[in-house]
Structure 1
């Protein structure tokens, strides 16, 4: 072969080799670096790819093999992020409404149920986004179970009248939104699985049946999280069933709308109106419970006094959040409760004169009511009362945080469900009995008292003391255990004995706890002093203002 021919052949080979190197460089520039994960701004496929295999398909582990190639899959991810943003804003509003109720966001229930459902919705969306590109049948099955349970919750809330009124629009919207999002997550996971299979068939020639260790760990973690969500929804559904069952419990008295028709409070009266020999109405005993609902045991001793003829008539009520009363918007102070009581009495057509009998924190409400309606109040009986200077004890930030924490987990109803299934706890126990403290409404009421005890409530009761009529007969009955254990409490009991100028008696029941009426000695002293107070009240006359 001639030299020219050899050079020509070598030139041709060199040119082919240069062109091959040039194509390799183009491919290297067009593909994302192996040192980092590709993102949506990277070109997924090179312009002129060199097939890694002889059949022209990509390797299954190539980053270009991704469901993100499909715009439908990208759109699903965008909408999930958008839904997460909306849910988070709603979650913040519901969180704020527990402490300060914005217009239109007050629920007559505790407010913790809708907050918990929204928290669950946020968790579902976050889990779906974290494991977006790793769909699995296990995730879809779990999400489907959650959707079915949530749909059952919607049906329960909508079909039970009392639950529907308590949860109202925010609660129903929260549960319905959680149901929609659970269904959306099932749909999304299914579409992503379809997109992943389509891209694998298009780019690798077959759908991938194996998973990497990282993918298997992702499936396991996602499934465990969703199983926890299933347990949470099961508990919430069980608690809803208990609440629906409790709505059938009969009550004495009636609920009355107060505060501009925003919520209802429960009021009941026992006995008939009687008059004395001069034709004047005998006083009605107005009972204000302390830290527990009136019906639990505080009202029982009054019923015994009524049967014994010590009193002719008495009325009792539930402050907002207690027993059969709805929760009030936040903030809610003792003075607001006193106004609720006055409004309910007026709507029910109840008239004085009254003798206010109260215990513990309820004594704060009674004192405010007495000061604001001094012409109708003929006597005060305070049983181991809370002094305004000690309101800081129930206003501690630690106590408030603990109450809020119990409120957040109250929709799970772990204690209530366990008690109902294994301990035979009755509806009466849950509504107004010794298990009432486990309910979300009661916890919300306690939290409201905590939030304003040392601010609004203290200001209201201090003003009430200033305008309290000095001629009102007064009875103080203190716990011997509390006064011996706490010197500051004993000093404040003594100070309250100077609330008016007409102290009928101040008794310290030696062996009685804070709940004085839970001992025979305490009940005996209370009934005796109440009878004396009724007699003293008939001698009370207030000067009327002439126009």
Structure 2
């Protein structure tokens, strides 16, 4: 009887193992087919530029100088979130958005994806595409430290800068101190697991669609379609988040470089109850955090003697979607200052 039971258990275990292997294999085939379909249905809007064995997606429009370069924040959407801004900036000068390595249409890269590696990639991509300096660098959120790092190493190429609610080198510690909350892991374990098994097709089935009403539906669909393949790259950047902030923090003197700083100012009362709950902070904690953020934004404006600072009381963090008009106006102002400086050296 015992022997029969053991044989039965063994057969069940073997059957389950075979089923798991079959399901994983089917999932892997499904993911490969899905990726082929996505590449066909959502082709890159710009061009793929070879920077030495891998390609970076660079999307440029318009004519004129200086060239405006749009650097996205730390997520899986890449250049797509800049669409409302880029279309309007292209009316008065040349403008390029791009996807960092592994995000959206760009090939992944090996090694640490810190701000220095990102600056080097951007420099190579602009050179390979024959895009000419000087550049106006526009950095949103974590894109702020990235453009500061670029300016540190390629300062002669930069004619101006716009920081769009940009991250500050000391934000992690200062926000933790303001809220009384401990510093958290930037990548939850569940998301790490999803990034590790994208090849099985499971993340494509369980991740929610991107909801970005400010963008055309086709663009939002493209973000959804590519988010599973962009996860690993976004997490690779998050893993060295503090290293990138420290690198950017070593360069905070822009001299008289034209600089515009845009900062969020949306109060607690302007958020819905669901948004307030999702933030995970009490009203008091939120207000302390926003006060700390405002202080850091004012510090960023002090990095140049030729700067402006605007606080947008009707916008939260992603203001290139919430207030693209303000971002466009700030870029136009910096472009104008750079042109006048070039005409009167």
Q: TM-score, normalization: structure 1?
A: 0.52
Which residue, 304, 316, 331 being the options, matches 1:513? Answer: 316
Instruction: Tell me if structure 1 keeps the 8 A contact 2:262–2:312.
Output: yes
Instruction: Indicate yes or no: 2:101 matched with 1:304.
Output: no
Q: Which residue of 2 aligns with 1:412?
A: 200
Instruction: Indicate yes or no: 2:244 matched with 1:461.
Output: no
| Secondary structure of 2:43's aligned partner | coil
Instruction: Indicate yes or no: 2:263 matched with 1:478.
Output: yes
Instruction: Indicate yes or no: 2:333 matched with 1:532.
Output: yes
Q: Which residue of 1 aligns with 2:12?
A: 220
Matches for 1:230-379 after TM superposition, within 5 Å: 230-248=22-40, 249-258=42-51, 261-272=52-63, 274=64, 282-292=65-75, 293-306=77-90, 309=91, 311-379=92-160
Distance 1:233 1:430, change over 3 A: farther
Q: 1:340, CA displacement in angstroms?
A: 0.8
Once the two structures are overlaid, the 10-residue window that deviates more, 313-322 or 410-419, is 410-419
Tell me the distance in 2 between the aligned counterparts of 1:398 and 1:297.
Answer: 21
Q: Which residue of 1 aligns with 2:300?
A: 496
1:1-39, CA deviations, whole angstroms, 9 ceiling, x for partnerless residues? Answer: xxxxxxxxxxxxxxxxxxxxxxxxxxxxxxxxxxxxxxx
Instruction: Tell me if structure 2 keeps the 8 A contact 1:333–1:452.
Output: yes
Instruction: Tell me if structure 2 keeps the 8 A contact 1:429–1:436.
Output: no
1:74-97, CA deviations, whole angstroms, 9 ceiling, x for partnerless residues? Answer: xxxxxxxxxxxxxxxxxxxxxxxx
1:280-312, CA deviations, whole angstroms, 9 ceiling, x for partnerless residues? Answer: xx2111111113434423232221233xx4x22
Tell me the distance in 2 between the aligned counterparts of 1:235 and 1:509.
Answer: 46
Q: 1:238, CA displacement in angstroms?
A: 1.0
Instruction: Tell me if structure 1 keeps the 8 A contact 2:69–2:97.
Output: yes
| Secondary structure of 2:266's aligned partner | helix
Select the structure with the greater relative contact order (CA < 8 A; seq sep ≥ 6).
Answer: 2
Q: Which residue of 1 aligns with 2:170?
A: 389
Distance 1:403 1:213, change over 3 A: closer
Instruction: Tell me if structure 1 keeps the 8 A contact 2:254–2:303.
Output: no
Distance 1:427 1:327, change over 3 A: farther
| Secondary structure of 1:242's aligned partner | helix
Instruction: Tell me if structure 2 keeps the 8 A contact 1:294–1:317.
Output: yes
- Considering only CA atoms, is the larger Rg found in Structure 1 or Structure 2? 1
Distance 1:398 1:357, change over 3 A: closer
Tell me the distance in 2 between the aligned counterparts of 1:240 and 1:434.
Answer: 16
Q: 1:399, CA displacement in angstroms?
A: 2.1
Instruction: Tell me if structure 2 keeps the 8 A contact 1:380–1:474.
Output: yes
Matches for 1:10-409 after TM superposition, within 5 Å: 212-248=4-40, 249-258=42-51, 261-272=52-63, 274=64, 282-292=65-75, 293-306=77-90, 309=91, 311-390=92-171, 396-397=184-185, 399=187, 401-409=189-197
Tell me the distance in 2 between the aligned counterparts of 1:443 and 1:469.
Answer: 33
Instruction: Tell me if structure 1 keeps the 8 A contact 2:38–2:226.
Output: no
| Secondary structure of 1:358's aligned partner | strand
Tell me the distance in 1 between the aligned counterparts of 2:13 and 2:62.
Answer: 63
Q: 1:430, CA displacement in angstroms?
A: 5.9
| Secondary structure of 2:110's aligned partner | coil
Q: 1:410, CA displacement in angstroms?
A: 2.3
Question: What is the RMSD of the two structures over their aligned residues, measured on CA atoms?
Answer: 3.1
1:316-373, CA deviations, whole angstroms, 9 ceiling, x for partnerless residues? Answer: 1111111111111121211111111111111111111211112011111111112222
